[in-house]
Amino acid sequence: MDKENTDVSSKPADVNISNISVQVVSAQGKLPGRRAPRPQKPIGKAKPKKQPKKKAPFWNVQNKIIIFTVFLFILAVTAWTLLWLYIRRKGNIGGDLAEIQLGFRKLRKGKEETAELGGGVVVNLAVNLVYTTSAFSKFYKQSVVADVSSNNKGGLLVHFWIVFVMPHAKGHIFCEDCVAAILKDSIQTSIINRTSVGSLQGLAVDMDSVVLNAGLRSDYSSTIGADKGCSQYFYADHLSLRYPLEISATSGRLMCHFKLVAVVGYLIRLSIESVQIEADNCVTDSLTIYDSLMPLWSTVLYRICEPTRTIMSFVSTNNLMLVAFKSPQIRRLSGIRAFFEVIPEQKCENTVFVKEITGFEGKISSPYYPSYYPPKCKCTWKFQTSLSTLGVALKFHNYSITKKSVKGCDHGWWEINEQMYCGSYMDHQTIFRVPSSLAHIQLHCSSRLSDKPLLVEYGSYNISQPCPVGSFRCSSGLCVPQTQRCDGVNDCFDESDELFCVTLKPACNTSSLRQHGPLVCDGFRDCEDGRDEQNCTQSIPCNNRTFKCGNDICFRKQNAQCDGTVDCPDGSDEQGCSCSRSLSTHHRIIGGTDTQEGGWPWQVSLHFVGSAYCGASVISREWLLSAAHCFHGNRLSDPTPWTAHLGMYVQGNAKFVSPVKRIVVHEYYNSQTFDYDIALLQLSTAWPETLKQLIQPICIPPAGQKVRGGEKCWVTGWGRRHEADNKGSPVLQQAEVELIDQTLCVSTYGIITSRMLCAGVMSGKRDACRGDSGGPLSCRRKSDGKWILTGIVSWGHGCGRPDFPGVYTRVSNFVSWIRKYVPSLS
């Protein structure tokens, strides 16, 4: 997506250029041999009706005038075109910017005075000379001194903007390193003294102070244009001091720039305490933190697009930082409360001797923990255990690492004893074990922006027996007591303790036997007649993980309560649970095959730049639920090109269309594995009450609701009807699919997380396909007939292939996440 973006901005100019020049050449080339001018038409107002038939000579005066005029015209057009091309090539299209910081030592008397008095004029002249005499001289336009301040060495700290203008064709030769190299080469350093002081045209330069950021002028963010009185320049030279950064307003607008400069050789840590802005994915309001003094996209460290009260801190990679706050139309309250500090650079390397006893004994973390870690970081840790029988165990907090595939890593790549791994964030701990007494570990920060802090506990473990006797090893690496295996509770956090459970033989008669046989006395009514749970109510004591029925029988809380199945003999598990939204009266799908208009009133078609791209479901008057992968990438994550089409049957004929105001992608969405594939969309305009016959929300399942293999549900969408099709269906399609047992699904695909569920038919044929993503997997609850959004179309191996069911996001795992953004649902 990024690539496409840059292509879009650079290609059209080239295309125009070649098109136009071809036309010009051919016009000129053919000019002498052009169609013979019609001799008989004289230029004059009135044509005498009858002319003598005598032929006029071709080279008569009139024709000469015509040919001359045409020639002049073509000449003018050619000249104008060439001029236009020249202006376009030379002009601001190919403009590039560089930002340079140079620190100067105390200069010899006269010069120092001149430099200070002239606000860096002397220095500017020196820089000007460097570039006008360099290989870039043809492209060098000007250098402008942006700021001058005194540094802690009694000298000056000067900031420049340097503008280069170069044709597109030569754009590739403009690079940050080249611009920096030119400057650095012209600063003479003494090999004899080996000091960090160089000399630029006789001015003493502090080599450590040279910082350069370069970027295309198109990368220059539009957030510039700060208001007067709202822009400040801070020079911070006191370590252990907190410099406050606060601004707020209740009306009008705020466009502020805070330029932060720390003493050379140190870094800046910005801590954000609260941000008040309008939440719309930074379309209008934003807080952008740059790793430079100029708002260049290439130097963005982080962007905050929604209000927050969680403390977050960010660290620069040099002594500069720009904080740009933008709120152009304040409705209630806009502002920030933050402070910054000057901090020393930290080394991220360590050699650790792990003790003999197994268990976790220490912690390592990402650079500048608990701050977000900056891009371009690298850490090295060496672990050594005391015995060859002991390996190194790493417990990652809310993070996990998996073997690196051909794709790059979004959130850090790890090299552990020469093997590559990719990191991803998640909502639980994982343990990674290195079966060797020596572990050489490297972390490379791979994200373009600053990333969430990482905390890893380390320790040793017994290589021949990673989990203690009597415990079970989860896929997440954690160890849980064997007694908790197959007990219906997700103790491993990844549900691996609930997979491949040995089922006890039928306790119910075969007619009511479910897909994989019932579990006896597991607190779950597997047999419709409840025989599997008879005479064993005492075996499961009621505790905080179980639900107590009215008659003192305990059932697993997650399984029993509000799942639409009466588990307690007195029905108490299904009492008091209600979904505020009712079923449409238009349903004809049960037993039917084709969709009827209004049959799936929560189905939404999401259009990206005018074309159907994904599906979604209506869950409230202004919120939709869809899949995160529909919004992955720079362009797709911007809400502006998206429109939501509600109450639609035939593509393009929606009853209600609204632009999308905000897209909330789950923070743990993993584009490699499609884990946490869920996103919320807020409509710019809520759909009107008057359309409630055609548009209706679908119910969100109760939190942690378990689904059962074999249950019949429906998948709907305008996606492709065959894997090989190249376009979607014009009419909304529906297919009845069966929920597949998680164990079976894991054995088919391998990588199925507890945030996923499978549905389809094992013979293939009925499934979702491309274009259906984000759309609903709707299951009708038997107890009250309400429709529940059990799944979101996520991925699959091909479409409708035998033994490869569709994979859906398991919505019941995201109830609290949904409620956080849509409180009206509870």
The residue among 127 and 793 lying less far from ligand ARG, judged by its C-beta, is 793
Task: Single out the residue of 262, 769, 779, 792 in contact with ligand ARG (rule: CB under 6 A).
Answer: 769
Task: Tell me: does residue 719 bind ligand ARG (CB under 6 A).
Answer: yes
Q: How far is the CB of 643 from ligand ARG (least distance, A)?
A: 18
Q: What tokens does 169 get?
A: 């064709």
Q: Minimum distance from CB of 630 to ligand ARG (Å)?
A: 7
370 prior amide bond cis, ω within 30? yes
Region of 214-222, 385-393, 748-756, 761-769 interacting with ligand ARG (CB under 6 A)? 761-769
C-alpha of 335 from chain center? 25
CA 171 distance to own-chain centroid: 28
Check binding of 796 to ligand ARG (CB under 6 A).
yes
Report which of 298, 277, 320, 325 is spatially closest to residue 449, judged by C-alpha positions: 298
Q: Is 776 in the site for ligand ARG (CB under 6 A)?
A: no
Find residue 733's DSSP bridge partners: 717
795 binds ligand ARG (CB under 6 A): yes
Look at residue 650 and give its three-state secondary structure.
strand
Q: Which is nearer to ligand ARG, 697 or 806 (CB)?
A: 806
| Contact present, 738 and 711 (Cβ < 8 Å) | yes
CB contact at 8 A, 531 and 508: yes
Q: Minimal distance in Å, beta carbon 771 to ligand ARG? A: 5
C-alpha separations of 477 from 354, 393, 414, 467, 746 in Å: 19, 10, 17, 9, 17
Q: CA-to-CA distance for 749 and 280, rounded, in angstroms?
A: 37
The reply on whether position 768 binds ligand ARG by CB under 6 A is: yes
What residue type is assigned to position 307 of the chain? P
746 binds ligand ARG (CB under 6 A): no
Using alpha carbons, select from 172, 171, 168, 164 the residue that is nearest to residue 139. 164
Site size for ligand ARG (CB under 6 A): 13
770 is a site residue for ligand ARG (CB under 6 A): yes
Q: Which residues pair with 434 in a beta bridge?
A: 392
Going by C-alpha positions, the residue among 557, 553, 561, 556 that lies closest to residue 577 is 561
Q: Specify the residue, 425 or 674, whose C-beta has the smaller distance to ligand ARG.
A: 674
Quote the least distance from Cβ 437 to ligand ARG, whole Å: 44
Q: Comparing C-alpha atoms, which of 134, 136, 140, 110 is closest to residue 203? A: 110
Residue 124 engages ligand ARG in binding (rule: CB under 6 A):
no
Contact criterion met (CB below 8 Å) for 697 and 620: yes
CB within 8 A of 727, min separation 6: which ones? 720
772 binds ligand ARG (CB under 6 A): yes
Please name the helix (run of DSSP H) or strand (run of DSSP E) that holds residue 81, with its range, or none: helix 61-90
Determine, following the binding rule CB under 6 A, whether residue 608 of this chain makes contact with ligand ARG: no
CB of 137 to ligand ARG, least distance (A): 51
Place of tokens 């373009």: 448
The dihedral over CA atoms of 69, 70, 76, 82, expressed in degrees to the nearest 10, equals -160
Q: Does 793 bind ligand ARG (CB under 6 A)?
A: yes
Pairing of strands 231-236, 254-262: parallel
Residue 781 beta carbon to ligand ARG: minimum distance, rounded to whole angstroms: 23
Select the span of 190-198, 423-431, 689-697, 771-779 touching ligand ARG (CB under 6 A). Answer: 771-779
Residue 728 makes contact with ligand ARG by CB under 6 A: no
Nearer Cβ to ligand ARG (766/786): 766
The answer to whether residue 443 forms part of the interface with ligand ARG (CB under 6 A) is: no
| In the complex, residue closest to ligand ARG by CB | 796
Of 495 and 767, nearer to ligand ARG (C-beta) is 767
Return the residue of 453, 564, 728, 771 that touches ligand ARG, per CB under 6 A: 771
Which residues, 542 to 581, sit near ligand ARG by CB under 6 A? none
Residues labelled catalytic: 629, 677, 773
> Using the rule CB under 6 A, is 806 a contact of ligand ARG?
yes
Candidate ranges 167-175, 252-260, 466-474, 792-800; the one touching ligand ARG (CB under 6 A): 792-800
Q: Is 491 in the site for ligand ARG (CB under 6 A)?
A: no
Instruction: Supply the minimum distance, in Å, between the C-beta of residue 489 and ligand ARG.
Output: 29
The yes or no reply on residue 360 touching ligand ARG (CB under 6 A) is no
Please identify, among the stretches 143-151, 383-391, 634-642, 793-801, the one whose residues bind ligand ARG according to the rule CB under 6 A: 793-801
Single-letter code of the amino acid located at 700: I
Alpha-carbon distance of 450 to 375, in angstroms, equals 5
Q: Which amino acid is at 89?
A: R
Q: In 630-775, which residue ranges form alpha helices assigned H by DSSP?
A: 742-749
| Residues near ligand ARG (CB under 6 A) | 719, 767-773, 793, 795-796, 799, 806
